[in-house]
Amino acid sequence: MNFNLPILADDTQAAGGLGGLFGGGNSMWMMILIYGAIIAAIYFFLIRPNSKKKKEEAQMRNSLEIGDEITTIGGIMGRIVAIKDDEDAIIIETGSDRVKMKFKKWCISTVDTVKEKPAEQTEKKSFSLFKKKNKDDKAE
């Protein structure tokens, strides 16, 4: 028994002579588009947020000041008493016994000191029909 089944020998014959329109040319472009979409998704969901986070951490580490309360990546909490830029290190003081330890700047996890931002934003005045009047507002 010999079974010879016809296996789509040629796309041009199966598509009625329109092989360029329905053939392998478009499937190649679709594959390129799919790979491009996957690469773009990886960039926007993985690479870009990671680089933003690294920039924010670098800015945080460069804006350290003496007296800031910090937490290291190991969980040690303390107050900065000295910054050594030539060694890229800081010296912190922990607890009431005033133990001093030296750390590299990259080991800082968070800055716990709340710094006040400059009051650049002025109060925006907006018009509202249903605005409550304060006691300071005078009815004219």
What mean pLDDT value characterizes the chain?
Answer: 78
What string of DSSP letters covers the chain?
----------HHHHTTS-HHHHSHHHHHHHHHHHHHHHHHHHIIIIIHHHHHHHHHHHHHHHT--TT-EEEETT--EEEEEEEETTTTEEEEEETTTTEEEEEEGGGEEEE---PPPP--PPPPP---TTPPPPSSSPP-
Confidence band for 10, pLDDT divided at 50, 70 and 90: very low
Confidence band for 11, pLDDT divided at 50, 70 and 90: very low
pLDDT tens per residue, range 28-79: 899 999 999 999 999 999 999 999 999 999 998 888 899 999 999 999 999 9
pLDDT tens per residue, range 90-137: 999 998 888 999 999 999 999 988 777 665 555 555 555 565 555 555
Report the percentage of the chain scoring pLDDT > 90.
41
pLDDT at 9 over 70: no
The rounded distance, in Å, linking the Cα atoms of 78 and 100 is: 9
**Confidence at residue 138, expressed as pLDDT on a 0 to 100 scale:** 54
**Confidence at residue 113, expressed as pLDDT on a 0 to 100 scale:** 82
Length of the chain: 140
The better pLDDT of the pair 17, 75 is held by 75
